[in-house]
Amino acid sequence: MTVEQDNPGKRVLLAKPRGYCAGVDRAVETVEKALERYGAPVYVRKEIVHNKHVVRTLTERGAIFVEETEEVPEGAHVVFSAHGVSPAVRESANERGLRAIDATCPLVTKVHQEAKRFARDDYDILLIGHHGHEEVEGTSGEAPENVQLVDTEEDVASVEVRDPSKVVWLSQTTLSVDETMRRVDALRERFPELSDPPSDDICYATQNRQVAVKTMAPECDLVIVVGSGNSSNSVRLVEVALDAGARTAHRVDHAGELDETWLEGMRTVGVTSGASVPELLVEEVLRYLAERGWADVSEVTTANEKITFALPRELRKNLGGARE
Ligand code: 2E6
Ligand code: F3S
């Protein structure tokens, strides 16, 4: 049976932008360059980015992922992940004589600077984000006395501030834009003088991937989001797709997790991927779909990203050797 007879109208809409953002690209390259320059092993505190495939590949090349700097041998190189660290983590690494290389995304660092600035001006800071996520732990750690995490609706109702005229909200970089604005509206009902952040905390990459998936979702019977389960921005893409009208949406780490039954009776399948996802994993999903009759792929482009970030300072230094 030919593809056409099998199911006319089978098509794939492929979101663009999708996959690696500038911060992830820089963080992954940081570990690769550190391995090249210093040799294995290079220690990495937490997952460099929230993607199983990336972590496995770097482990194979000699990276050792640890939960805390205490696990790193004294004097060794340690890379801080793209999600950022609190000053307490930096101090602990310093005390142990570790040679730290900071792969924190510059857009996360920007939120840290905002937290420090508002704390200096003695504001109460309501940080919208997900409980337990490494990024909010790092940002909160910049001003633990001033920052309170607002995750759920219940948190909006229970949070208390010292002076309602000196309150600002900041956020994690990888939240759903719409969901965040709902939290802000609810917070503003309680604190009408709530100040906004000086610039967007939800980063360009998170926003762009959500706009792309929102654009194609109303036409999709199924949206497949490639990304790991602990990747906040990837998980948000599933929610955004469903909110925007996709009939169904599923997240998979790789093509091996796709389920044939999801495709039954479907015509238009949307595909996208989170900011920490190598394109190779998307290509495997497209191959899986093509083998089942979804070979007609059209890209839905809502932005062209050009942004790149320079490598961390420690790796930009020219050692005068052949390696640079
Ligand atoms: C660092 C900061 C923001 O879980 P989350 O979406 O935050 O993280 P990743 O690693 O999946 O995405 C990239 C990233 C890194 N986003
Ligand atoms: Fe940075 Fe946003 Fe990527 S904060 S790591 S550019 S998802």
Report how far apart, in Å, the C-alpha atoms of 166 and of each of 170, 188, 195 are.
13, 13, 8
- Residue whose Cα lies nearest atom 1 of ligand 2: it is 23
Q: Which of 18, 46, 53, 231 to mutate to test the pocket of ligand 1 (most atoms within 8 A of CB)?
A: 231
Tokens of 157: 């109702």
- Calculate how far, in angstroms, residue 20's C-alpha sits from the geometric centre of ligand 2: 9
**Which one of the ligands is nearest to 84 CA?**
1
Q: Find the angle CA(145)-CA(150)-CA(154) to the nearest 5 degrees.
A: 125
| Helix/strand/coil (H/E/C) assignment for every residue in the chain | CCHHHHCCCCEEEEEECCCCCHHHHHHHHHHHHHHHHHCCCEEEECCCCCCHHHHHHHHHCCEEEECCHHHCCCCCEEEECCCCCCHHHHHHHHHCCCEEEECCCHHHHHHHHHHHHHHHCCCEEEEECCCCCHHHHHHHCCCCCCEEEECCHHHHHHCCCCCCCCEEEEECCCCCHHHHHHHHHHHHHHCCCCECCCCCCCCHHHHHHHHHHHHHHHHCCEEEEECCCCCHHHHHHHHHHHHCCCCEEEEECCHHHCCHHHHCCCCEEEEEECCCCCHHHHHHHHHHHHHCCCCCEEEEECCCCCCCCCCCHHHHCCCCCCCC
Ligand 2 atom at minimum distance from 307 CA: 6
Tokens of 138: 């790092």
Ligand 2 atom at minimum distance from 106 CA: 1
Would you place residue 324 in the very low, low, confident or very high pLDDT band (cuts 50, 70, 90)?
very low
- Calculate how far, in angstroms, residue 262's C-alpha sits from the geometric centre of ligand 2: 30
Mean pLDDT for the stretch of residues 258-269: 98
**Which one of the ligands is nearest to 208 CA?**
2
Q: Which of 26, 46, 174 to mutate to test the pocket of ligand 1 (most atoms within 8 A of CB)?
A: 174
Handedness of CA 56, 254, 128, 305 (dihedral sign): positive
**Which one of the ligands is nearest to 309 CA?**
2
Ligand 2 atom at minimum distance from 174 CA: 7
Supply the mean pLDDT for the chain.
96
Packing angle between helix 204-216 and helix 177-190, nearest 10 degrees? Answer: 110
pLDDT tens for 25-84 read: 999 999 999 999 999 999 999 999 999 999 999 999 999 999 999 999 999 999 999 999
Ligand 2 atom at minimum distance from 22 CA: 6
Q: Which of 48, 83, 139, 240 to mutate to test the pocket of ligand 1 (most atoms within 8 A of CB)?
A: 83
Cis, bond preceding 192 (omega within 30 deg of 0): no
Catalytic positions, written as ranges: 135
**Which one of the ligands is nearest to 80 CA?**
1
Residue 185, pLDDT score: 98
- Calculate how far, in angstroms, residue 220's C-alpha sits from the geometric centre of ligand 1: 26
Q: How many CB atoms lie within 10 A of CB 127?
A: 24
Residue 8, pLDDT score: 75
Judged by average pLDDT, the poorest of 2-6, 14-18, 294-298 is: 2-6
Between the two ends of the chain, the Cα-to-Cα distance in Å is 55
Closest CA to 32 of 84, 104, 101, 108: 101
Report how far apart, in Å, the C-alpha atoms of 175 and of each of 216, 243, 294, 305 are.
19, 14, 31, 19
- Calculate how far, in angstroms, residue 177's C-alpha sits from the geometric centre of ligand 1: 15
pLDDT for 322 beyond 60: no
Whole-angstrom distance, CA of residue 116 vs CA of residue 144: 10
Residue 7, pLDDT score: 62
- Calculate how far, in angstroms, residue 85's C-alpha sits from the geometric centre of ligand 1: 13
Pick the more confident residue, 117 or 321: 117
Contact of 189 with 215, CB cutoff 8 Å:
no
Mean pLDDT for the stretch of residues 230-244: 98
Ligand 1 atom at minimum distance from 173 CA: 3
Task: At 321, give phi and psi (nearest 5°).
Answer: -95, -175
- Calculate how far, in angstroms, residue 210's C-alpha sits from the geometric centre of ligand 1: 14
pLDDT for 1 beyond 50: no
- Residues in contact with ligand 1 by the CB-under-6-Å rule are 23-24, 49-50, 82-83, 105, 108, 135, 173-174, 231-234, 274-276
